Structure 1
Amino acid sequence: MNEYYYTPNPDVVHELHTWKYELLGNDLKFTTDNGVFSKRTVDYGSSTLVKNINMDKIPAGNILDLGCGYGPMGIALAKNYPNRIFEMVDVNNLALSLAQKNAEQNSVKNVKIHNSDIYEDVKDRFAAILTNPPVRAGKKVVNDMISGSLEHLVKNGTLTVVLQKKQGAPSAKKLMNSLFGNCKIIRKDKGYYILESTFEG
């Protein structure tokens, strides 16, 4: 029986919950289920990333929410930035069906939601990639999410990652620095680090 949220089809007993969460000044409504990450509330790391990403300095173009889960980061930002398209991908089909439902119930239309195992079915380059990576899936998955971003960013595009210090933020920062030649900690909060690198092309 496979219940892990970072697998394509978690084998779970369904138990849908719908709840409200205020983010970026909007009262959002999310429906979640067993078999998805952070089903009872928006994960603190995700909400911290969303509140600290500087959308004004990101170049023109679409945004990728990599490992979107049931959609809190992409939906919250898409609601506030209706002129941007947010592509939201995950390997978990249950999470994606919930993300679709959550986009609809929050009247968010500027999203493209589809399955992708990391970057496997991601074709474009983006103005920004943001991710709260699935640490439990292992270090290789997290590192592949970071290193693969280079092939999917436009010039001056940004990669923004949230990780807890105890779950590998320092080594992720080191990897981002070696790949991009830069990495800033844009926020530290309750053990969470928001790391950002700019692709200088």
Structure 2
Amino acid sequence: MSDEHYFSADPSVAFQRAPVHAEVWGVELDLVSGSGVFAQGRLDIGTSILFRETEPPTGGRILDLGCGYGVIGLACAVAAAEAVVTAVDVNQRAVLLANENAATLGVTDRFTAATPEGIDPAATYDEIWSNPPIRIGKAALHELLLTWLPRLAPGGRAVMVVGKNLGADSLQRWLGEQGFPTERLASAKGFRVLESRRG
């Protein structure tokens, strides 16, 4: 199956798990992905560039936005022992896998995945990490980002990886126009790593 339907709330494709091994920030992660979830059986290129071009957070409250099977948030939780991670995805299968992976890695005390309805609307975050679901379309993406970026604590930041051919540069400008000054941390293999700040 292609990744085109990974943003469905309840994918119709039969559920099959697939192992993924990744080395992130010097940490070995053995995870399980699944059909109907973004990047089944692999670490996608964008996320691998995000990891390669950044340093892990040192702690704080972190949101993994559009978590898929949880690799970004779980890497944050494992690399930063002081981090408390909330992972969110509309895909119920992704939430299930992310929580299963957290149990396998022994970080369920600091990592929780849920659908948007299951997240405390008053919660704020020191950092948001994301490989956002660009393919949901510009309007839906803008709505998604304007839902979650305002939940950054004052002085907080969002770190995102976006394909150049999928509008990374225009997204960078748009984020600035919305009051989230955004700079490019890196550019590699057709992807931009962006950092947005909350003033």
TM-score under structure 1 normalisation?
0.88
Which stretch of structure 1 is more off in the superposition, 98-107 or 13-22? 13-22
Mapped to 1, the partners of 2:84 and 2:181 lie a distance apart of 26
Is 1:42 equivalent to 2:43 in the alignment? yes
The equivalent of 1:151 in structure 2 is 150
Preserved CA contact (<8 Å) 2:99 2:113 = yes
CA 1:21–1:61: 2 relative to 1, 3 Å: closer
Structure 1 residue identity aligned to 2:34 = D
Describe the superposition over 1:32-52 as per-residue Cα deviations: whole angstroms up to 9, x where unpaired.
Answer: 111010112111211222343
Q: Which structure 1 segments of 5+ residues have no match?
A: none
DSSP-derived class of the 2:67 partner: coil
Is 1:199 equivalent to 2:198 in the alignment? yes
CA 1:54–1:180: 2 relative to 1, 3 Å: farther
Preserved CA contact (<8 Å) 1:49 1:162 = yes
Aligned-residue sequence identity (percent) comes to: 30
Mapped to 2, the partners of 1:129 and 1:98 lie a distance apart of 20
DSSP-derived class of the 1:41 partner: coil
DSSP-derived class of the 1:180 partner: coil
The equivalent of 1:114 in structure 2 is 114
Mapped to 2, the partners of 1:99 and 1:120 lie a distance apart of 15
CA 1:150–1:82: 2 relative to 1, 3 Å: same
Mapped to 2, the partners of 1:197 and 1:54 lie a distance apart of 16
Q: Which structure 2 segments of 5+ residues have no match?
A: none
Paired residues, number: 195
Describe the superposition over 1:35-80 as per-residue Cα deviations: whole angstroms up to 9, x where unpaired.
Answer: 0101121112112223434456x8x730111110100100011101
Q: CA deviation at 1:12?
A: 0.9
Which stretch of structure 1 is more off in the superposition, 77-86 or 102-111? 102-111
Q: CA deviation at 1:106?
A: 1.9
Alignment of 1:16-35 (within 5 A): 16-35=17-36
Mapped to 2, the partners of 1:31 and 1:128 lie a distance apart of 25
Mapped to 2, the partners of 1:145 and 1:55 lie a distance apart of 24
DSSP-derived class of the 2:103 partner: helix
CA 1:36–1:150: 2 relative to 1, 3 Å: closer
CA 1:12–1:47: 2 relative to 1, 3 Å: same
Preserved CA contact (<8 Å) 2:56 2:79 = no
Alignment of 1:122-133 (within 5 A): 122-133=121-132
Mapped to 1, the partners of 2:25 and 2:156 lie a distance apart of 22
The equivalent of 2:14 in structure 1 is 13
Structure 2 residue identity aligned to 1:36 = V
Mapped to 2, the partners of 1:149 and 1:98 lie a distance apart of 22
TM-score under structure 2 normalisation?
0.89
Structure 2 residue identity aligned to 1:165 = K
The equivalent of 2:189 in structure 1 is 190
Mapped to 2, the partners of 1:148 and 1:165 lie a distance apart of 23
